[in-house]
């Protein structure tokens, strides 16, 4: 059996798959369709597959008789299960059962304070360009640190001074969102009634509900400085970065290079950050692609860059930077990128050695200055349990 916990082409976890060891076929998917699967194991007699699936929004245990059975859920509730070990007699499973929660906190001159309170699990913070508003999403389950953050949830907007929060579009639950450079609207990704990925625009003044950009299917949208929207569109088995105006006009391909994910557009609109195969060897890495043409700059395998509201400071996180840690790096005037070693960053020390680099023990979103930022704080309560197999 292979592919347990494998990722989709968009960087998400996907269903588990049983594949023959001789490579004679791609095998078949197991577990609930179109649901994340992070672990799977055979029963001792080889007649059953046990797995963890996020069908329904939380990770629970499922089983499926091999080869032709249907998925059956056998745990439920507000707790989640992670990891599977089947007892030698095949009568029970040992798994980690627990509760997780996440909240958004703000760090500024007044210290640290919690922004999200009783709304639910909060994640994915972003400041508006003025730095006066902080956006985040309320999701059902705490997002995992692995894979791409794509859990549906309402977008909330908090006033930084007062900490008062309210939903931007109550009931609307996008998978992703980005804020326009003028701070007047937001683009969100959410499926339509047929399940197709669509892009929606919502104004910050809340005078109208989200409206769909006509004629566009896309994911992971980002605003350019002129109001143009960049997004990832799938053609066959490959994905490409496209661009379009908010009214649906001017649709065209932005990059000829296929990409797996689109993660950012530089404040000056000259660079696209994407995870894509490197030129020549096909290995994947986060790269900065110049929109004017030319060779990309490799940043690192999964090392991401995030710009401050003012565009003069950069956050570097992920990849060679351990989880829960980031580096804040000032940028030279007129520059969007720091000095990147050929082939990308290979160690945390290379990032720490950048001029003016400062380490913080947080991951999240840079604010209007080096001393203002938002971050996620997670709590986990988990214990091992033996669960009888029905």
Dump the DSSP string for 88-117: TTSSEEEEEEEEEEEEEEEEETTEEEE---
Query: Any idea what the Cα angle at residue 356 is, between residues 351 and 344, rounded to 5°?
Result: 25
Q: Summarize pLDDT for 94-124 with one digit per residue, the tens.
A: 999 987 788 999 999 889 999 987 667 888 8
Contacts of residue 38, defined as CB under 8 A and 6 or more positions apart, other chains included, come to: 4, 5, 13, 52, 54, 59, 82, 144
Mean pLDDT of all residues in 36-49:
92
Within 10 A of 319 (CB to CB), how many other CB atoms are there? 20
**pLDDT value for 24:** 87
Query: 136 forms bridges with which residues in the sheet?
Result: 156
Q: With CA atoms as reference, report the closest residue to 103 among 94, 90, 112.
A: 112
Alpha carbon distance 249, 159 (integer Å)? 33
What pLDDT, on a 0 to 100 scale, did the predictor assign at position 270? 94
Q: What does pLDDT average to over the chain?
A: 89
Two structure tokens written together for 88: 């030698």
- Is a pLDDT exceeding 60 seen at residue 8? no
What integer is the mean pLDDT of 189-217? 93
Tens digits of per-residue pLDDT, 250-296?
A: 999 999 999 999 999 999 999 999 999 987 766 899 999 999 989 99
Asked if 187 and 199 count as a contact pair (C-beta separation under 8 A), the reply is: yes
Q: What is the mean pLDDT of residues 67-71?
A: 93
Return the pLDDT at 283: 85
Res 1 pLDDT > 50:
no
Query: H-type helices in the chain, by residue range?
Result: 348-352
| Rounded percentage of the chain residues whose pLDDT exceeds 90 | 65
Position 149 scores a pLDDT of 52
d(CA 188, CA 224): 14
Query: Across-strand partners of 101?
Result: 379
In the numeric block, the tokens 């060779």 are attached to 295
Average pLDDT over residues 327-336: 92
Cα–Cα–Cα angle for 218, 344, 294, rounded to 5 degrees: 60
pLDDT of 6 > 60? The answer is no
Record the tokens describing residue 90, joined without a space: 């095949």
pLDDT attached to residue 5: 42
Residue 91: its pLDDT value, please? 92
pLDDT confidence of 141, banded at 50, 70, 90?
Answer: low
**Burial label, 124 (beta-carbon count in 10 A; 0-12, 13-18, 19+):** buried
Q: Is the pLDDT of residue 192 over 70?
A: yes
Mean pLDDT, residues 139-164: 74
* Domain regions of the chain by residue span: 16-99+380-388
The two structure tokens encoding residue 82: 């992670």
User: Would you say residue 143 has pLDDT above 70?
Assistant: no
For the chain, how many helices (H) and strands (E)?
A: 1, 31
In this structure, are residues 53 and 60 in contact, taking their beta carbons and an 8 Å threshold?
Answer: yes
Which of 42-46, 321-325, 326-330, 341-345 is the least confident region? 321-325
C-alpha distances in Å from residue 216, one per residue of 74, 154, 181? 40, 22, 21
For residue 388, what pLDDT is reported? 92
Q: What is the pLDDT of residue 150?
A: 62
Confidence at residue 148, expressed as pLDDT on a 0 to 100 scale: 43
The pLDDT value recorded for residue 35 is 87
The residue among 376, 301, 367 whose CA lies nearest residue 129 is 367
320-352: b (≥16 Cβ within 10 Å) or e: bbeeeebbbbbbeeeebbbebeeebbeebebbe
pLDDT digits (tens, 9 = 90+) for 204-245: 999 999 999 999 999 999 999 999 999 999 988 899 999 999
């Amino acid at each position: 059996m292979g592919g347990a916990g494998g990722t989709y082409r968009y960087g998400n976890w996907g269903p588990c798959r049983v594949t023959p060891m001789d490579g004679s076929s791609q095998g078949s998917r197991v577990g609930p369709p179109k649901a994340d699967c992070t672990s799977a194991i055979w029963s001792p007699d080889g007649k059953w597959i046990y797995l963890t699936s996020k069908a329904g929004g939380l990770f629970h245990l499922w089983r499926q008789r091999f080869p032709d059975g249907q998925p059956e859920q056998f745990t439920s509730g507000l707790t989640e299960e992670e990891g599977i070990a089947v007892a030698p007699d095949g009568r029970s499973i040992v798994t980690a059962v627990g509760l997780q929660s996440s909240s958004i906190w703000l760090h500024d001159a007044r210290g640290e304070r919690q922004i999200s309170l009783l709304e639910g699990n909060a994640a994915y913070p972003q400041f508006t360009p003025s730095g006066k508003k902080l956006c985040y999403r309320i999701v059902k389950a705490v997002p995992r640190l692995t894979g791409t953050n794509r859990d549906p949830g309402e977008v909330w907007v908090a006033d930084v001074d007062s900490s008062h929060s309210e939903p931007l579009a109550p009931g609307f639950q996008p998978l992703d969102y980005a804020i326009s450079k003028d701070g007047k609207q937001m683009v969100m990704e959410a499926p339509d009634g047929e399940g197709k990925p669509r892009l929606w625009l919502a104004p910050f003044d809340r005078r109208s509900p989200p409206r769909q950009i006509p004629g566009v299917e896309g994911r992971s949208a980002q605003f350019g400085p002129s109001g143009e929207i960049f997004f990832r569109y799938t053609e066959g088995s490959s994905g490409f970065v496209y661009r379009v105006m908010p009214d649906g006009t001017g649709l065209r391909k932005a990059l000829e290079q296929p990409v797996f994910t689109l993660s950012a557009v530089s404040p000056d609109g000259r660079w696209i950050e994407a995870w894509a195969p490197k030129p020549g060897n096909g290995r994947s890495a986060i790269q900065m692609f110049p929109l004017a043409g030319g060779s990309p700059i490799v940043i690192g395998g999964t090392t991401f860059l995030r710009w401050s509201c003012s565009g003069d400071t950069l956050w570097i996180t992920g990849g060679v930077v351990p989880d829960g840690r980031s580096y804040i790096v000032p940028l030279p005037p007129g520059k969007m990128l720091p000095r990147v070693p050929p082939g990308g960053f290979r160690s945390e020390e290379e990032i720490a050695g950048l001029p003016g680099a400062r380490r913080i023990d947080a991951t999240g979103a840079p604010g209007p200055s080096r001393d203002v930022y938002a971050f996620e704080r997670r709590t986990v309560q988990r214990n091992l349990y033996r669960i009888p197999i029905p």
